[in-house]
Amino acid sequence: MQAASVLLQRISHSVLILAGLSVCVHSTKAAEVNFETLNTGDTFGMGTHNPGETMVVQDGITVRLTNFQLGSFEDFNTVRINGPGTDSFATKHAFLDNIGLEFDLNAIAPITDVFFDYVEGGGDLNFAVNSGPIIELEFETGGMLSLENHPDLPPGITAMVDADSVHLSGAISDFLLAGQELALDNIVAVPEPTCLVLLAVGMGAGIYRRRSTKLIAK
């Protein structure tokens, strides 16, 4: 009976660790919008859609159409899906012409990191995160590059920006990008790695069972 009890405790310990690992793999799966489910030439916006309408849902991320603004000026023109080999992208992507896109991440929350690739053709940009106020980024003063260390970024949100990609860090539930001549692709949202805590709980329970087994043996 004692041997059987020890065996059951060891099996339980292994199951707990494996459960932690399986949750870890599942919860850290990144979600991506790459516009590959849309057709080259598809156009959304003025004349066919209204602000707030859904453009596409991909990998749990809902992409909605929204206005572009500059001061008191607002516009709602078009998003066009361009094909490979255009706008410096090797794959299909979205080209924003005086319009914006809102990326709703609530269905896959909590998200702690967002990455996306971009190409600026000119004109100004809009950025917002977590339904906050619009940050206007002027092309003449750096455009997207000026988002890094921008004083109007909300507390807890950081942006690392280079010439063709952005990395946002922090608790992110949604974000908005708008532009006058802006190409976007490979929008990736990475969930919070809560799996590490679950794995630790599993290992802790196993250690407790091992100690209990040693006491029984004595």
**Residue 55 included in any domain:** yes
Report the pLDDT value the prediction gives residue 180, as an integer from 0 to 100.
Answer: 97
In the chain, DSSP finds a helix count (H) and a strand count (E) of: 2, 14
Q: How many CA atoms lie within 13 A of 132 on its CB side?
A: 16
Q: Six-digit token pair at 208?
A: 């407790």
CA 63, 54, 31: angle at the middle one, nearest 5? 30
For 208, the enclosing helix (H) or strand (E) is helix 195-217
Tell me, what's the pLDDT at 105?
A: 98
Which pLDDT does position 18 carry in this prediction? 44
For 37, the domain range is 31-192
Residue 15: inside a domain, yes or no? no
Q: Report the pLDDT value the prediction gives residue 95, as an integer from 0 to 100.
A: 98
> Does some domain include residue 88?
yes
- Distance, in Å, from the CA atom of 130 to the CA atom of 139, rounded to the nearest integer, reads 23
* 155 belongs to a structural domain: yes
Domain assignment present for residue 3? The answer is no
In a domain, 64, yes or no: yes
SS3 36: coil
When divided into structural domains, the chain yields a total of 1
In a domain, 14, yes or no: no
pLDDT in tens, the chain (218 residues): 555 554 445 545 554 444 455 555 545 689 999 999 999 999 999 999 999 999 999 999 999 999 999 999 999 999 999 999 999 999 999 999 999 999 999 999 999 999 999 999 999 999 999 999 999 999 999 999 999 999 999 999 999 999 999 999 999 999 999 999 999 999 999 998 855 444 555 555 554 455 554 444 55
Residue 87's CB: how many other CB atoms inside 10 A? Answer: 19
- CATH number of the domain where residue 143 is located: 2.60.120
CB burial readout 38-66, b (16+ within 10 A) else e: beeeeebbbeebeeeeebbebbbbbbbbb
User: Would you call 207 exposed, middle or buried from its count of C-beta atoms within 10 A (0-12, 13-18, 19+)?
Assistant: exposed
Residue 6 lies in a domain: no
pLDDT value of position 193: 80
- Mapping DSSP to helix (H, G, I), strand (E, B) and coil, where does residue 157 land? coil
Q: Give the HSE-up count for residue 84: Cα atoms under 13 Å, Cβ half-sphere.
A: 3
